[in-house]
Amino acid sequence: MRKKALVKISLLLVLVFVFTATSFAQTTVEYWTTQTEQERVEVINDLIARFESQQDQYQIELVTVQENDIPTKLASGMAAGRLPQMIEVGAENILNLGAEGMLDSEAVNDVVNRIGEEDIYDGALKMLSNPAGGYFGVPFHGWVQGIWYREDLFEERGLEPPTTWESIMTAAKEFYKPEEQQYGIVIGTNKDAYARQTFTQYALSNNARIFDEEGNLVFNSPEMVETLKFYAELAETTPPGPNGWRDARDLYLAGRVPMMMYSTYIMDDIGLQATDYAGEQGAIIENLVDKTNFANTMKHKTEAVFGQINGLTFIKSEDQEKLEGAKTFAEFLLTGENYIDFLHMAPGGMNPVRPSIANDPKYLEHELLEVWGEKSARIASGLNSIGKFGYVGGRVFPEIGNITSQFIVGQTIMRMTERGWSAERAAEWGHNEMQDALD
């Protein structure tokens, strides 16, 4: 028996040794990205390899996390005592983390200064600013949302482009034939970020806000009720049940809807067929890229553009060395060829936040961007004029993060579309939920 015990103990010791021995290497920086697709991960891995070959102080460990899982994974990382140093994530999540006091704003400001504040779009910087001064995140890339529509079908029926509430509703009703599995439009009607994103554009175009300029919650305002009413009516022309971005993508590419709301990330799906890319093909409709147009501005009481800025941000850490590594890597990613290679992983979808790169011929030289021709330049131009719920009259309300993380907007919409609530009742409910989320 004793012999066995000895063997066991020595085995254990060997194991312990093996585990500890590996921890004496270089400084490892953990970087979380929301780019979960393997093709994109490969691009980032190539960039990491390039970074590691240029210096030997820091190693980067890449972790991919789905955008909706970021709060969950951060919380579990915190509970387990293992947080990343750097995260690449949407502006709301960054503001939310900033409001929670988890971010190192100074480190962010450092990187912004190293790159040069003047070479980053103001619109993008504004999205990530810290109300106490400076920034919560370094702007990295952005997308613009709007209605992608079948110009050919619209012209065939003599319909106006879907840029106003009236023209959208008219077209949606015109095309809606559920018995043939043809639907009017896809907009978000589920408990997710997509619903908030598509809804925001309608609300902003109606001057409906979540916060007024004093920062009071005004989700039950008459403008908001009016927007909800319109949105619920429009949702009657959507495919069955709560819809998300996947429905928008599948159904548009399959020719089942003539309109859907989506970000610029759809550009490669629509355009792939026209390139000589040998892999999977997105669209089922022939030459979809030529038949598609994009309405990124919505007009009602005012004009509204919606989009998203993704930023890089740093989690507060005791370990200055890791933090320094993260900052160095962030700067690397935003510079020159590295930056262009990064953006080209989702051509058209990811747009540069640095004017110097946006106009760089090397950036514009990409097969897919060329397929879209002059449309692509117009599409990207929206990036500087994005409006959002968290920003009113030049002020930023990081509290919006609490509301977005609980998908209250989507839940409000679902109460109308799934349970038949009136817009007034839904708005009142959403207002109270938001109040609770803020307290």
Partner 1 sequence: MVGKESIRSKIIFVVLLITVLAFVLIPFITMISSSLKPNVEQTQLPPKIIPNNPTIEHYQGVLNPEIFPFLIYFKNSLIVAFLSAGIGIVIAIFGSYSFARLEYTGRGVIQRGVLMVYMFGGVLLVIPLFQMISKLGLFDTRTSLIITYIVQTLPVSLYMLGNYFRTIPESIEEAAIIDGCSRFEVIYRIVLPLSAPAIVSVFIYAFMIAWNEYLFASVFINSSSLRTLPLGLNQLFYTQHYVWGRMMAASVLTAVPVIILFLSVERFITGGLTFGGVKE
Partner 2 sequence: MQIKKDQEAKLGYWLILPTVLSIGGLIIYPVFYNLWLSVHDVNMNPTMPNEFIGLSHFINILTDLDFWISFRTSLIFTSTTVIGTTLLGLGVALLLNRKFPGRAIVRGIILLPYVTPVISAAFGWKYLFNPVFGMFNYIMVDVLSILPQHINWIESPRYAIFAVIIFNIWRNFPFAFLMILAELQSISDTLYEAAEVDGATIWQKFKYITLPELKFVIGALVILRTIWNFYKFSEVYLLSSSVEVLPVYIYEKAFSTYSFGEAAAISAILFVFVLGFIMFYVRKVLEW
Residues in touch with partner 1 (CB under 8 A):
36-39, 41-42, 61-64, 66, 68, 73, 76-77, 79-82, 181, 245, 249-251, 253-254, 256, 265, 269, 279-282, 284
406/127 Cα distance (integer angstroms): 20
Q: Which does 265 bind (CB under 5 to 8 A by kind): partner 1, partner 2, none?
A: partner 1
Q: Which does 42 bind (CB under 5 to 8 A by kind): partner 2, partner 1, none?
A: partner 1
Minimum Å gap between C-beta 78 and partner 2 is: 5
Minimum Å gap between C-beta 264 and partner 1 is: 12
Residue number, 39 or 106, with CB nearest to partner 1 = 39
Minimum Å gap between C-beta 143 and partner 1 is: 12
Residue number, 8 or 362, with CB nearest to partner 2 = 8
- 247 counts as binding partner 2 under rule CB under 8 A: yes
| 119-139 burial: b if 16+ Cβ within 10 Å, else e | ebbebbbbbbbbeeeebbbbb
With contacts defined by CB under 8 A, how many residues of the chain interact with partner 2?
A: 26
Main-chain phi, psi angles of 70, to 5 degrees: -55, -50
- 80 counts as binding partner 2 under rule CB under 8 A: yes
Q: Which does 3 bind (CB under 5 to 8 A by kind): partner 2, partner 1, none?
A: none
Residue number, 30 or 399, with CB nearest to partner 1 = 30
Minimum Å gap between C-beta 402 and partner 2 is: 11
Query: Token pair of 399, please?
Result: 């509290």
Residue number, 123 or 188, with CB nearest to partner 1 = 188
Residue number, 118 or 280, with CB nearest to partner 2 = 280
CA distance from start to end of the chain:
62
> HEC states along 79-130?
HCCCCCCEEEEEHHHHHHHHHCCCECHHHHHHHHHHHCHHHCCHHHHHHCEC
Q: Which does 39 bind (CB under 5 to 8 A by kind): partner 1, partner 2, none?
A: partner 1
Closest CA to 198 of 403, 346, 413: 413
Residue number, 191 or 209, with CB nearest to partner 2 = 191
Q: Which does 1 bind (CB under 5 to 8 A by kind): partner 1, partner 2, none?
A: partner 2
Residue number, 190 or 297, with CB nearest to partner 1 = 190
Q: Which of residues 347-386 bind partner 2 (CB under 8 A)?
A: none
Binding mask 168-207 for partner 2 (x = CB under 8 A): ----------x--x--------xx----------------
303/305 Cα distance (integer angstroms): 7
- 79 counts as binding partner 2 under rule CB under 8 A: yes
108/171 Cα distance (integer angstroms): 45
Minimum Å gap between C-beta 345 and partner 1 is: 11
285/288 Cα distance (integer angstroms): 6
340/249 Cα distance (integer angstroms): 26
Minimum Å gap between C-beta 108 and partner 1 is: 24
Q: How many CA atoms lie within 13 A of 403 on its CB side?
A: 23
* Alpha helices (runs of H) in 206-285, residue ranges in sequence order: 222-235, 245-253, 267-271
On whether the CB atoms of residues 27 and 321 are closer than 8 A, the answer is yes
Residue number, 6 or 75, with CB nearest to partner 2 = 75
162/16 Cα distance (integer angstroms): 65
**Interface residue with partner 2, options 9, 75, 284, 377 (CB under 8 A):** 75
Minimum Å gap between C-beta 234 and partner 1 is: 23
31/409 Cα distance (integer angstroms): 30
Q: Which residues bind partner 2 (CB under 8 A)?
A: 1, 71-72, 75-76, 78-81, 178, 181, 190-191, 239-244, 247, 250-251, 254, 256, 414, 418
